[in-house]
Amino acid sequence: MRRAMLPLIGVFLFLLVWQLAGRSLGAAILAPPSIVAFDYLELLRQGDMLRELALSLRQMAIGYLAACVIGMPLGVVMGRSRVADGVFHPWVAMFVVTSTAAQIPLLILFLGTGLWLRITVAFLSTVFYVVLTTYNGARGIAPNQLAVGRSFGAGRLQIFWKIMIPAIYPYLLTAARIGLVHAIRAMVTAELFVIVGYGGLIHQSGLSIETGPLLGLILTLMIVSLLGDLILRGVGRWVAPWYEQQRLVSS
Amino acid sequence: MIANPAGPNRDAPKLEVQGISKAYGRDGNALTVLDNISLVVPELEFLALLGPSGCGKSTLLRIIDGIDTPDAGRVVLDGKDVTGTTGNGRGMVFQSFELFAWRTVLSNVAFGLEVAGMGKAKRLQTARQYIDMVGLSAFQNAFPHQLSGGMQQRVGIARALAINPSILLMDEPYGALDVQTRDLLQDELLNIWEKQRKTVIFVTHSIEEALYLADRIVVISPRPGRIQQDIVVPFARPRSAEIKSDPVFLELRREIWQMLKRGVKV
């Protein structure tokens, strides 16, 4: 009971500090929550925010799903095959440490500023995290679990689907969650470059003398990211009830 | 004393291990784990492979199961060379249970039947029989982490028995359990075995366990693993815990301990 109160107290303190800082700095630098709340209702009423958000998220989702569909199997193959690891690991290691924002100017030359740019940026900034997380999971599969499969005469495909994939399930879930956060971040970065979509909206709000709407847009982004993560966790719990329980028991 | 009407049929070799050798590591500093091991296991015999840790007895069992391959030698099951292949009626129980965390007890026990392609209704029905046999009917929908170690190993045994193997391989199945649980599971295993006799190869480092369970004990010496002694256990079946205080039992235990002691370096 008292535990559940702590986050609420944290949020309240944060709002309090923000309110005090906003009052002393003025709305042109940092709008206090009381003003942001008012501006936020206005943003909702105008409808631009949610419409642009939905369009941007749709493009992000394409890049993100492609990153999962390609990255997860690639990670498993790299984790279980020395040849695949040798060939792909240098590439993954190079790209995962490179800021996607730094690659955007080059990508604009290749792809222009349209749909494909945003999908590609979301994909590139997500796929390597998905690969590496899955890779680590696949490498860590206990050899004896695979031996059980062989002992009972399971074929290679059966071992893959019935043992490897469920064994790395926690890693797949983590990969999906980390990936989603990266994809949403990349979406905004790409849109700030070419001033379209939700990122474009943020850019324009930044030019205005009022910070209320800008903070409102950032707030929405936070809510969307947290909500997405929450949904993925819920899906994870639904798909694998044993995993969450097992963690509770062993902790 | 050796009278044992339904005992092993010594004229019918179920399994033959012929000249098995295995080394780990590279040439130059290779560690020889098994050195030219040969043994014959008659149909329906309960054989214990006994030795200190590191003597290669588990490796030998894994080679017999086919999940490891030997550097030299053959494994012949029912007259057929099965070296390096699994299946063909071999069921394995692993030391640290190796249940699948994401499957319920029922689904774990049905695993072997599932990969063999048996239909869902039939394999679940079969799995339930074996879960019943090990006394876990109330837990068939539980996940492994909800069970004690002893219960988990019961599931491991049910999983191996569910494929109705003609030879059951047990790799220190009670090594990870406390003494009380171990004693209970030994009696349970003997009960099951009396009801459904099979050829069993049971790997253990416990002299008492080997004497209590087995018809014959093959003692393996460590580094490199070689067969040191082959002992026929003279107790009639069915056995009960009383034989553990029988003078013959105690004398055999002492003799085997003297033998093992020479090979053990602490």
Which tens digits make up the pLDDT trace of B68-127? Answer: 999 999 999 998 999 999 988 999 999 999 999 999 999 999 999 999 999 999 999 999
pLDDT interval class at A248 (50, 70, 90): low
Percent of chain B with pLDDT over 70: 94
pLDDT of residue A238: 84
Q: What is the mean pLDDT of residues A106-123?
A: 92
Which token pair is A235? 């899906």
Nearest CB to A145 within list B65, B98, B163 = B98
Please give the Cα distance from A93 to A56 (Å, whole number): 28
* Nearest chain B CA: its distance from A54 CA (Å): 36
Nearest CB to A242 within list B96, B143, B163 = B143
Which token pair is B212? 């209590």
pLDDT of residue A26: 83
CB contact under 8 A, A153 and B65: no
Contact assessment for residue B243 and residue B235, using Cβ atoms and an 8 Å cutoff: yes
Roughly what angle, to the nearest 10 degrees, separates helices A100-111 and A169-194?
Answer: 60
Whether A251 contacts chain B with CB within 8 A: no
Per-residue pLDDT tens digits for A170-202:
899 999 999 999 999 999 999 998 888 899 999
Q: Which of residues 48-77 of B touch A (CB under 8 A)?
A: 62, 65-67
| ipTM rounded to 2 decimals | 0.90
Q: What is the mean pLDDT of residues B2-11?
A: 59
Q: What is the mean pLDDT of residues A138-153?
A: 95
CB contact under 8 A, B98 and A147: yes
Instruction: Mean pLDDT check: name the lowest of A27-36, A159-168, B94-103.
Output: A27-36
Percent of chain A with pLDDT over 90: 59
Per-residue pLDDT tens digits for A35-70:
888 888 988 898 888 999 999 999 999 999 999 999
User: What's the gap between Cα B177 and its chain centre?
Assistant: 15
Residues in chain B closer than 8 A to A165 (CB atoms): none
- Structural domains for chain A: 47-242 (1.10.3720.10)
Checking if the pLDDT of B2 tops 50, the result is no
Which token pair is B152? 């988990």
pLDDT of residue B151: 94
* Nearest chain A CA: its distance from B87 CA (Å): 5
pLDDT of residue B223: 79
Residues in chain A closer than 8 A to B86 (CB atoms): 150-153
What's the mean per-residue pLDDT of chain B? 90
Residues in chain B closer than 8 A to A167 (CB atoms): 100, 102
Q: How far is CA A126 from CA A178, A192, A212, A220, B73, in A?
A: 8, 18, 31, 21, 51
Q: What is the mean pLDDT of residues A221-241?
A: 89
Exposed, middle or buried by CB within 10 Å (0-12, 13-18, 19+), for B55?
buried
The continuous run of DSSP H or E covering B64 comes out as helix B57-65
pLDDT of residue B263: 65
CB contact under 8 A, A243 and B102: yes
Checking if the pLDDT of B264 tops 80, the result is no
Checking if the pLDDT of B3 tops 60, the result is no
Per-residue pLDDT tens digits for A85-95:
999 999 999 98
Fold adopted by B1-89+168-174+198-266? Rossmann fold (3.40.50)
- Residue tagged 């966790």 (tokens): A233
Whether the ω angle into residue B238 lies within 30 degrees of 0, i.e. cis, is: yes
Scored b (16 or more CB within 10 A) or e, A68-83 reads: beebbebbbbbbbeee
pLDDT of residue B30: 79
Q: Give the strand pairing for B167-171 and B199-204.
A: parallel
* Nearest chain B CA: its distance from A167 CA (Å): 8
Q: Which residue of A has its CA nearest to B145?
A: A246
pLDDT interval class at B213 (50, 70, 90): very high
Query: Residue ranges per domain, chain B?
Result: 1-89+168-174+198-266
pLDDT of residue A236: 86
CB contact under 8 A, A152 and B163: yes
Whether A152 contacts chain B with CB within 8 A: yes
pLDDT of residue B1: 41
Checking if the pLDDT of B6 tops 60, the result is no
